[in-house]
Amino acid sequence: MKKKIAIVFSVFLIIFCFFLFYSNKNQNFLLKDTTKNAEKKETKPYTRLVVAIPYSRVEERDLKLVEEEINKICRKELEIEIEIMTSSSYYNQVNLMLAGDEQLDIMVATNEMLMENYMNGYLLPLDSLLENYGKDITEQIGEKIVRACSINQTLYGIPGNRDYAKGSDAYMLRKDILDKYHINPKNIKTHEDLDEVFALVKENEKDMTVLVSGAGTMMEHLYFVDAASASNFGRHMNYGRDEKIVNSFETEEYIEALKMVRNWYLKGYLDTDDLSQTEPLFSRVRNGEIFAYTTKGKPGIVSQDCSATGREMVCVQLGKDVISYNSISFCPWTITANTISPKKSMQLLNLFYSNADIMNLLCYGVEGVHYKKTEDGHITYADEKKGNPFVSNAWKMPNQFITYVWEGNDLTLWEDVKKFNEEAIHCCDLGLNYDISKVYDQYTSLKEIYSRYRVILENGLVNPEEGLRKMLLEMEENGMNSVIQLKQKQYDFWKNNKTESFTHLYK
Amino acid sequence: MNNLTLLKKRLFSIIGGVVILFMVLSVAYSASILKIEKEQEMERYTQTLRVYMQRMEESMDSVENLLITQCTNISDIQKIRKSGKGMDRYLTLFQKEKEFSEEIGKYKFLDGLFLFEKERETYIGVKRDAVKTSEHTAVKKHAMEIISGFEGRENKDSWFFQKIEGFPYLFRVIETKNIYFCAWMKAEYLVNDLVEAEGNEDTLIALGDKKGEIMNCSESVEATIKNQKQIRIHEKKYSIINVFSDKRNLSLHLFQRDRSVFIVFKRLILPLSLIVIMGVTIYLLVILFTKEVFLNPLDKLLFEKERAKNKAELQFLQLQTNPHFLNNCLSLIRNLVFLDRKEEAQEAVISLGKYTRSSLNPHTEITVKGEIKHIETYYQLLKLRFHDRIEMKVTVDSQAEFLKIPTMLIQTFVENSVKHQLSSEDTLRISVHVFIEKEYLIVQIEDNGEGFAETLRSRLKEGKPIVDEDGNIHVGIANIVQRMHILYGENAKILFENKEVHGACVTIFIPILCDVKKLPEKEKEDEK
């Protein structure tokens, strides 16, 4: 009888197990669902701020990882959450959001966006907000530099900590080729010296393009050319020190530079098909197609380019280190009129500028996923093959100076950059943002004209005299003089009324 | 125990049969469901492919329009063709590049756009952000080939496939005055959305031209698909869905791995094992419970007759030792001895001995002769007691002498008569008549008493025990009725009648089961 009971019991046990298995399966499913819901519910109490950052080539997936990590800190520190908005057509997307009254709390205003949005009234004045909630920002950036984003004495943006100066007229050369022909780069001191080197390379390395542009045109490494800035139309020459504003395209320096590039083009140093170039610079250098390229001198640039190209490079700088226009306000962080909370937005910015963890996340992604620490205190790729989509965007972030240093740079990089900014020549209008709203139409036309001509002119594709004549004519017809006059008036007024001197940035 | 094993076997085969039936049914059901599902899935896939094809066609239409618009801008084209002054030419080329980069993002599937001037091999081109630079470089490098490929075509007004560095691309070229405007789409990217949405290791998506030649597929497939429904790729069987474009040089193919057997198996493994387990459980439970609840009662039913016989025998034995009768006989013998009637006493002792001995007969049946002998012994004893007050006459057909009747059959009725009808005034006459009529042995017992009361008769007929006025239970006749029923079933019957004058008459019909004539010899042998 005991045996029978045992059998019956075991049979029931088996059936029971089956049902348990089934119900368990369902229950787990339900559990998962409820946890999901719970998570969703949890997020509700936090204020959600939308932050627009012009990341280029960062995938949504990577960005979400960063966003989540940042939110962990933000929830704790400020009881808010952020949503990072980015787009390949950042400018259009942001303008649509602003015009459409969509929530947008913090925005990086690249290029002319600061001026444009100021004109459209999309920016909040930040003076009192900064005073009340942005103590750390002032501390991190410096009182003086923060003021450089003012328009008509009102603060509309907060600059990021980065290199404001550039080492002008700089060239990055391949060291192995220099060594091959026993050229000491230290002996290259003038454009003539450089020309000789190019001629030698052209003669002996038939398959190689001697010189290409590192960014934009063949002239963008010169102090008086800045494609992405209003400073092009009406400029202080002599490294920004001449108080008289002139049309830089009429100056002897510009014409000489055009002639030099045209000369290089005619001698065959440059790409003949520059317009149709499809490959990015660094991979071409890596492939050995290129001997030299123009660059912007700054601390750490050589080691950065060495690791990017996989070759040993040498930098020859013929010009001086200079802040030739008010580059501090080139890419400021702003609070828009569509914000749901100006106070929280400023608090968030304050956190951004002072929290090294958030800055590392914004600049380099998530540790272990996008980067890893090295033994000597640097950081590097977590996976060399996948690369790091964030690092090329790091300069746009609020405060790089509190982040790690990428492998290949000196650990003192950020101190060096500060020193570089401080010691460079400072233009006389540093800290002044010209209010060009009155001549904005003219400015737009000028920009359009320049963008058409610059590529063919500054790459030496056409005869510079003829081309320049045409461009200048068109510019004159479209109000170049009125822009220059307005700027001069504003400069004079500003100079006479300014309370601060920008001779020293950090003192 | 044998019965139990048999029962187990039968139960096993029944439940086994049911289990197998269920299994077959669920397999069949599952297979039919799967078939319907597959049809629906195929229908859905076809729909998806059609929609996707339509999207591609629409995109291609608008890209064509773009190219045509570019071609119709005569002034730009002339500026590009200008051989002399470079200025306008470069400005226009740069303008074109800008235009292209503005346009490229507006067209779905469009990977790249370029302008090619054959004479100077001028290439101005842009690519979509997501396209790799190496692919753009490849297209640029092979621009000349693409153009000559286009020149060599008969039908110049259509999209065509060409392989660049081993990868198939779809091109559309429009030429005007030796300037070629070309739009290109990499086959891989063209179906990318579809592959991401629908593709997996069992679902391959391929792009082909209008002849059905596969251009791009996630697995390397080189085949031309016309109308066949199945294909083997890497030794695996796939069913195919084809959608051919009506107007474009395009076709979409979806290869669905045929895994129905695997899926059916996967789906059924749990239900089938459940069925088996349930079957086994039910089997075990039934075995267990039938044993306790069902089988034992059945057992009782099966052996009830046997047991009833045993019980009858017991009752019979009880009857034999009727203590009253024994007591009466013993007091009779004592009186005879006391009166010094030695011979009579001796006779009584002998008769009692005979009577008791024949009463102890263990068999359930006895020959008529044996029964008659028994009654006669009983009669002798009665005679010694009651002298003239009782008289019994027995007539037996000689043929009936060796037929068998239930033990104590006649005795019970005779005893009954004596018990109830004997009176001190009249002589009780009992006559026993045994004879054969047709196939019945008939035993008739008559007396000259008062006959049966009506209520008594009906009770006797039903075979129920009789309760007299003193509350004593008389089971004798009821037992006989029962025993008769056990032994002969419905074939035997007993009639209880009252005679016209005084007295009762009991007629017993017993069926003759075997040949009467053969019996005597056998019986005689038995007696010896």
A454 has pLDDT over 80: yes
Q: Which residue of B has its CA nearest to A468?
A: B87
User: ipTM of this complex > 0.85?
Assistant: no
Chain A residue numbers touching B133 (CB-CB < 8 A) = 278-280, 283
Query: What is the mean predicted confidence (pLDDT) over B56-65?
Result: 90
pLDDT digits (tens, 9 = 90+) for A42-63: 445 788 999 999 998 888 889 9
pLDDT digits (tens, 9 = 90+) for B512-527: 865 444 444 444 444 4
A26 has pLDDT over 50: no
Q: Would you state the pLDDT for residue A349?
A: 94
Chain A residue numbers touching B280 (CB-CB < 8 A) = 11
**Chain-chain contact of A273 with B123 (C-beta, under 8 angstroms):** yes
Q: Would you state the pLDDT for residue B120?
A: 80
Q: How far is the alpha carbon of A11 from chain B, nearest alpha carbon, in Å?
A: 6
Q: Would you state the pLDDT for residue A245?
A: 92
In chain A, what percentage of residues exceed pLDDT 70? 90
More confidently predicted of A347 and B466: A347
- Hey, what are A398's tokens? 């609020």
Interchain CB contact of B140 with A (< 8 Å): yes
Q: Which residue of A has its CA nearest to B85?
A: A462
**Chain-chain contact of B90 with A456 (C-beta, under 8 angstroms):** yes
Beta-strand pair B404-406/B390-396? unpaired
Query: What is the mean predicted confidence (pLDDT) over B493-504?
Result: 80
Q: How far is the alpha carbon of A122 from chain B, nearest alpha carbon, in Å?
A: 26
Q: Residue B501, exposed/middle/buried by CB under 10 A (0-12, 13-18, 19+)?
A: exposed
Q: How confident is the model at residue A30 (pLDDT cuts 50, 70, 90)?
A: very low
Q: How far is the alpha carbon of B150 from chain A, nearest alpha carbon, in Å?
A: 21
Chain B residue numbers touching A89 (CB-CB < 8 A) = 105
Long-range own/partner contacts, residues B224-229 (CB < 8 A, 24 or more apart): B225/B251, B225/B253
pLDDT digits (tens, 9 = 90+) for A220-246: 888 888 866 677 888 999 888 898 999
Average pLDDT, chain A: 86
**Residues 262-281, chain B: which have Cβ within 8 Å of A?**
274, 277-278, 280-281
More confidently predicted of A40 and B133: B133
Q: Which of A419-428, A470-479, B162-171, B291-300 has the lowest mean pLDDT?
A: B291-300
Contacts A–B by Cβ distance under 8 A: 62
Q: How confident is the model at residue A85 (pLDDT cuts 50, 70, 90)?
A: very high
Chain B residue numbers touching A463 (CB-CB < 8 A) = 86-87
pLDDT digits (tens, 9 = 90+) for B343-390: 888 888 888 888 777 777 667 778 888 888 888 888 888 888 787 888
Nearest to A249 by CA among A262, A238, A233, A264: A233
A38 has pLDDT over 50: no
**Chain-chain contact of A280 with B274 (C-beta, under 8 angstroms):** no
Q: How confident is the model at residue A372 (pLDDT cuts 50, 70, 90)?
A: very high
Q: Would you state the pLDDT for residue A360?
A: 94
**Chain-chain contact of B87 with A467 (C-beta, under 8 angstroms):** yes
Contact A126, A169 (CB under 8 A): no
Query: What is the mean predicted confidence (pLDDT) over A123-136?
Result: 93
Q: Which residue of A has its CA nearest to B134?
A: A279
Q: Would you state the pLDDT for residue A214?
A: 85
Beta-strand pair B390-396/B428-437? parallel
Q: Would you state the pLDDT for residue B309?
A: 65
A39 has pLDDT over 50: no
Nearest to A276 among B87, B124, B281 (CB): B124
Nearest to A69 by CA among A390, A358, A356: A358
Chain A residue numbers touching B140 (CB-CB < 8 A) = 276, 278
Neighbour order of strands in the sheet with B236-244: B214-217, B203-208, B251-257, B236-244, B230-233
A28 has pLDDT over 50: no
Average pLDDT, chain B: 79
Beta bridge partners, B467, equal B473
Q: How far is the alpha carbon of A56 from chain B, nearest alpha carbon, in Å?
A: 11
More confidently predicted of B427 and A397: A397
**Chain-chain contact of A278 with B140 (C-beta, under 8 angstroms):** yes
Neighbour order of strands in the sheet with B428-437: B390-396, B428-437, B440-447, B504-511, B493-498
Interchain CB contact of B105 with A (< 8 Å): yes
Interchain CB contact of B293 with A (< 8 Å): no
**C-alpha A451: how far from its chain's center?**
20
Beta-strand pair A378-381/A154-155? unpaired
Interchain CB contact of B90 with A (< 8 Å): yes
Query: What is the mean predicted confidence (pLDDT) over B129-157?
Result: 85
pLDDT digits (tens, 9 = 90+) for B302-346: 666 666 666 666 566 555 556 667 787 888 888 888 888 888 888
Cα distance between residue B318 and residue B311, in whole Å: 10
Q: How confident is the model at residue B528 (pLDDT cuts 50, 70, 90)?
A: very low
Beta-strand pair A405-406/A378-381? parallel
